[in-house]
Chains A and B, each alone.
Chain A
Amino acid sequence: MAVGTQYLAEQPKLRTTSLVIGGIALAALLAAPFFLYPIFLMSILCFALFACAFNLLIGYVGLLSFGHAAFFGGAAYFTAHAVKVWGWEPLAGILLGVAGAAGLGLVIGFLAIRRQGIYFSMITLALSQMFAFICLQVPFTHGEDGIQGVPRGHLLGVVDLNEPLAMYYVTLAIFLFGVFAIWRIVNSPFGNILKAIRENERRAISLGYRVDRYKLGAFVMSAALAGLAGGTKAIVFQFATLTDVQWQMSGEVILMTLLGGIGTMIGPIVGGGLVIALQNYLAAYDFPVTVLIGIIFVICVLLFRRGIVGEILELMKRKAKGAA
């Protein structure tokens, strides 16, 4: 995966480096299930994609959504219901989750986009809390129990997803597709306008851009991609629960993105991987995971404000400048 900052794109040497790193990363991802527990890896992929989708909004539009759990968890419910109750094929179920999340994103985004800064964040939080409440009350989500025992089924009627390796590679393909989609959006004519709006909104308006529409477009895309992650997670774990729609999940994705590096292409992947790995490995010990993650978060904010990947990129940039 190429590191998609404009700066790197313009530096052939760094571009080669990032292609090499991307190649190694891809090889590692392909080989990983032979060394690590596939469910754990798939969990990382789902959350990393979720964080990337969130980062599309905060990193490239400058909008801090505090309600992304609604899209992630909502899609998980839609997918789980379609596959379990209606007997849909898994990919079709995931696509329904994506469409549902996009629809939710359109409604929440439409209402929130009119406000800026903290007010925008508060509106997304309030609306996603309303959605979480609806999920608790309506019958199809089965309240506290969630939708359990979702069959993984056969992808396109052919590939048996109950096979862990098959499920892993499908999840990896979805993850790579999602990350590529984000990379493409960021580095597209549309992404260019998003950058301009983030840089100087008034100027963008005076050039005739209806900035609210561009922001809403980005919001819906971010919601849809969060839905892609949520729907996939429902198939992987075979359930959808309230945990995924609640505000704690919105907070967690902010944490992952901040930790990895806002506005970098691979930062949220690293952040997501780190948080999930810590939760996974520390679950076996008595030490409370949340405290440790909290400490890491504080250290990160105090020492590397750009996040892990953000700091590394900055270091590379300074080195390249020094060499030039």
Chain B
Amino acid sequence: MEFRGFVAVKDVTLSVNEGTIHALIGPNGAGKTTVFNLLTKFLTPTRGQIVFRGNDITRLKPAEVARLGLVRSFQISAVFPHLTVLDNVRVALQRPKGLATQFWLPSRSLSVLDDRAMELIDAVNLSAYAHLTASELSYGRKRALEIATTLALDPAMLLLDEPMAGMGHEDIGRIADLIRRVAKNRTVLMVEHNLNVVADLCDRVTVLARGEILSDGSYATVSADPRVREAYMGTEHE
């Protein structure tokens, strides 16, 4: 998979290998979320090309990209606040299971999705909260719910925009485990500020600063790069 040439971010040639966990890091305003928006087509690149599993997806619409199996989460927790936890996950399951356009069937017909939905909810340890509305959940649990919802699509590639942001210490360990587990048979590209998590989880790291790639490689290579240290800490003195 490779992605070339962006505008708000420029000359970013990012290739993510299938089956790896790839981190995109960098100081605030480096363009990480912009890259995400470009990849998932919430923004349209003015120049360049985006290729996903051999298909050019540069001109597709966001919903179509999602249908191909490239599914994102959002930086600001994206749940359906007035639906229950169970309903949140069921909404994601409805389309792949072909139960989204039937306006003549009762809502009860969605109960065939319950088992799968509960499995997913269980995987993120939210079983006890399945019948609460999403707005009643704590921040960390909302993020967990979002991941469960994203996984419901069984995507080939997951884009996680700061999955750990605003989480307590315990939650971080749990979500990191979860990401490791789900990454076994898919590709993950994640934006993350918590460098411990990145070091622990990711096979490869790309550092972005001011819209350009600063460094790219394993965590050890990248963290040894003086330019990266400079971007994070300011000018380093000899």
A and B bind:
yes
Q: Which residues of A contact B (CB under 8 A)?
A: 9, 184-185, 187-193, 195-196, 199-200, 202-211, 214, 217, 221
Contact with A along B64-107 (1 / 0, CB 8 A): 10110001111000111111000100111011100111111111
A211 to chain B, nearest CB (A): 7
Given A196-B80, A205-B66, A208-B67, decide whether A188 and B91 contact each other with a Cβ distance below 8 A: no
B103 close to A199 (CB less than 8 A): no
CB closest chain-A residue, reference B63: A210
State whether A189 touches B94 (Cβ < 8 A): yes
Q: Which single residue of chain B is at the shortest CB-CB distance from A184?
A: B104
The answer to whether B79 and A208 touch across the interface, beta carbons within 8 angstroms, is no
CB of A206 within 8 A of CB of B40, answer yes
Instruction: Evaluate whether A195 and B63 lie within 8 angstroms (CB atoms) in the complex, with A187-B106, A188-B102, A190-B103 already known.
Output: no
Question: Do residues A188 and B103 form an inter-chain contact, with CB atoms below 8 A?
Answer: yes
A199 B74 Cβ-Cβ under 8 A: no
B5 is an interface residue with CB less than 8 A from chain A: no
Known: A189-B100, A192-B87. A207 touches B95 (CB 8 A): yes
Q: Is the CB of A189 within 8 A of B78?
A: no
Query: A195 — nearest CB in chain B belongs to which residue?
Result: B83
Given A196-B80, A207-B92, A207-B149, verify A191-B66 contact (CB < 8 Å): no
Instruction: Name B91's contact: one of A9, A184, A193, A217 (CB within 8 Å).
Output: A193
The tally of CB-CB contacts under 8 A between chains A and B is 102
Q: Size band of the B side of the interface?
A: 35 or more
Given A189-B101, A211-B63, A206 and B110 touching (CB < 8 A)? no
* Chain A residue at minimum C-beta to C-beta distance from B67: A208
CB-based contact A184/B66 at 8 Å: no
Are B63 and A205 in contact (CB-based, < 8 A)? yes
CB-defined A-B contacts under 8 Å, sample of 13: A188-B102, A189-B105, A190-B100, A192-B87, A192-B110, A199-B81, A205-B42, A206-B40, A207-B153, A208-B71, A208-B96, A208-B153, A221-B103
Residues of B within 8 A of A200 (CB): 78-81
Q: Is A192 in contact with B107, judged by CB distance below 8 angstroms?
A: yes
- Interface status of B62 (Cβ within 8 A of chain A): yes
Contacts of A204 in B (CB 8 A): 91
Docked CA distance A205–B65 (Å): 10
Distance in Å: Cβ of A59 to nearest Cβ of chain B? 13
Q: Is B109 an interface position by the 8 A CB rule?
A: yes
Q: How far is the CA of A205 from the CA of B107 in the complex (A)?
A: 21
Across the interface, name the chain A residue whose C-beta is closest to B93.
A207
Closest to A200 in B: B80
**How far is B94's CA from A188's CA once the two chains are assembled, in angstroms?**
11
Given A207-B71, A207-B149, A188 and B66 touching (CB < 8 A)? no
Q: Which residue of A lies closest to B99 (CB)?
A: A189
Contact A195 B99 (CB under 8 A): no
Do B91 and A190 have beta carbons less than 8 Å apart? Answer: no
Asked whether A199 and B109 contact (CB < 8 A) given A184-B103, A191-B103, A206-B66, the answer is no
